[in-house]
């Protein structure tokens, strides 16, 4: 049982990290898009 919960914690921790990473990438993508748009026009 202990092993199972440890694995679950690890998995949820990784998922949380990925979620944060995803959000940062999304913000970076939005910034990049607006930057390209401002340069293009």
The string of pLDDT tens digits covering residues 4-39 is: 788 888 888 888 898 888 999 999 999 999 999 999
Is the pLDDT confidence value at 1 over 70? no
Distances (CA, A) of 40 to 23, 25, 26, 34: 25, 22, 21, 10
Domain boundaries, the chain: 1-41
Give the predicted TM-score (pTM) of the model: 0.53
What pLDDT, on a 0 to 100 scale, did the predictor assign at position 2?
Answer: 64
CA 14 to chain centre: 10
């Amino acid at each position: 049982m202990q092993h199972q919960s440890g694995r679950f914690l690890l998995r949820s921790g990784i998922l949380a990290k990925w979620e944060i990473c995803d959000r940062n990438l999304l913000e970076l993508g939005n910034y990049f898009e607006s930057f390209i748009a401002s340069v293009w026009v």
